[in-house]
Amino acid sequence: MKLWQKDKTALAEVEKFTVGRDRELDMYLAKFDVLGSLAHIQMLQSVGLLSAEERIALQAGLRDIYSSIEQGVFILEDGVEDVHSQVEYLLTKKLGDTGKKIHSARSRNDQVLLDMKMYLRSEIEEIVSAVKELFDLLQTQSEKYKDYLLPGYTHLQLAMPSSFGLWFGAYAESLVDDLITLQAAYQVVNKNPLGSAAGYGSSFPIDRGMTTRLLGFADLNYNVVYAQMGRGKSERIVAAALANIAATLSRMSMDACIYLNQNFGFISFPDELTTGSSIMPHKKNPDVFELIRSHCNRIQALPNEIMLMTTNLPSGYQRDLQLLKEHIIPAFQNLKACIRMAGLMVSNIEVKADLLEDPSYRYVFSVEEVNKLVLQGIPFRDAYKEIGAAIEEGRFTYSTKLHHTHEGSIGNLQNDQIARMMNEILHQFNFSILKEALAKLLN
């Protein structure tokens, strides 16, 4: 059964090619399709396109379908093209002609638009929750290891003293900025496209503001042509935000791989979190971090993939857009897995104490010694030359005692201020409005 089928049946090869992975990926959208329909039928009754009795019957049918989705027993039956067709088929099978009325004033185009926006909203909420959990862990580790010094590098050469407090805290603050961009993406996603139909509106007197409120959207995509043009754009903007989080995880993973290397030996992990070699019994490989790095680098390519898939498309719907689901949906699942695994590793990390007591790191303190001379009144350039000469002549002396006090330095991490910034951006998502609206639809 195909809603668009008229008199001719497409060749099997064409059908297989055009459907692609849609049936598989539609399962991720199923519950959002039902929620959208619950809002749509309330609106249809309000404008006289459904009777109260029909709306009540459809609500009961849709809620039963939603329950089957939640229980994991909902399927797309053989011969049914997509989730929208399956939902309508089940309603028609149960309610007869009443079930057929659910598609009034809609097109599959704006059903997919709506389902994807609702899916993106839901996945963003899950990503935000996962990021906050990792953020809290990084802050905890930052405080725990704030007195554990670590050599800092520039150009991968020894540079200046750092600390594990700074290292963990840096990635925590990076996640704050990542959520700022994700919140901006959420604002784009959190606008209702329903009612744009095939991209040019409807002659029915539909109430798009009503469905906006019922579905917990912050606002409406007002122009129906732009609502259709938003498909691909929304995914690209969200992908860019996901790429930022992925970049943070990838960079942290690269650090961890280096720090675990025996030539550095800054950190270690329990044996069960590393892997061995088939022939080298001494190996403890950071496979988890290596895979996080690779997954996240692939996610960083996602915005460019989506941009190229949508480049030079005219306004209106094009079948190219169908393929976006094959890229954006797996990206969410992969990123959530990477965040969880990064948290597992960070929570079990073992940090080596007194690293900078090793004389091989003595030159990271050269700037400290320059600054001491400056504090005695020696001009900076003269102090620099004096310490440089001492290094060249082998008479350099230093102390590992540090006194850094400015904001964000080794001795003043400002983790409380970083937490404040995180809480401020979390508040802006305001997921409670969405949850309350969808709960009303289901009850």
End residue of a domain, out of 103, 121, 151: 103
Answer whether residue 277 shows pLDDT above 70: no
The arithmetic mean of pLDDT across residues 389-407, rounded, is 95
| Nearby residues of 184 by Cβ (< 8 Å), 6 or more positions away | 237, 241
Q: Residue 32's domain spans which residues?
A: 12-103
According to DSSP, residue 393 is labeled T
- Residue 41 and residue 22 share a domain: yes
* pLDDT at 204 (0 to 100): 95
Q: Which amino acid, residue 437?
A: A
- Residue 243 and residue 99 share a domain: no
- Residue 113 and residue 91 share a domain: no
Residue 344 pLDDT grade (very low, low, confident, very high; cuts 50, 70, 90): very high
* pLDDT at 9 (0 to 100): 61
End residue of a domain, out of 103, 129, 155: 103
Residue 407 lies in a domain: no
* pLDDT at 274 (0 to 100): 85
Question: How many domains does one find in the chain?
Answer: 2
- Residue 40 and residue 167 share a domain: no
Question: For the chain, what percent of residues have pLDDT higher than 70?
Answer: 96
Residue 388 lies in a domain: no
* Choice between 17 and 85, residue whose per-residue pLDDT is larger: 85
Residue 404 pLDDT grade (very low, low, confident, very high; cuts 50, 70, 90): very high
Across 234-238, 283-287, 405-409, least confident range = 283-287
According to DSSP, residue 147 is labeled T
The pLDDT tens digits for 154-200 are 999 999 999 999 999 999 999 999 999 999 999 999 999 999 999 99
- Residue 256 and residue 152 share a domain: yes
- Residue 80 and residue 122 share a domain: no
Residue 431 lies in a domain: yes
The pLDDT tens digits for 107-150 are 988 999 999 999 999 999 999 999 999 999 999 999 999 999 99
* Contact between 217 and 36 (Cβ < 8 Å): no
CATH code, 91: 1.10.275.10
Residue 348 lies in a domain: yes
Residue 332 lies in a domain: yes
Answer whether residue 6 shows pLDDT above 70: no
* Choice between 323 and 420, residue whose per-residue pLDDT is larger: 420
Nearest-angstrom CA–CA distance, 306 and 292: 22
* pLDDT at 3 (0 to 100): 53
The residues facing 158 across adjacent strands are: 153
Nearest to 295 by CA among 250, 351, 248: 250
Residue 207 lies in a domain: no
| Nearby residues of 50 by Cβ (< 8 Å), 6 or more positions away | 41, 44, 58, 101, 104
Question: For the chain, what percent of residues have pLDDT higher than 90?
Answer: 86
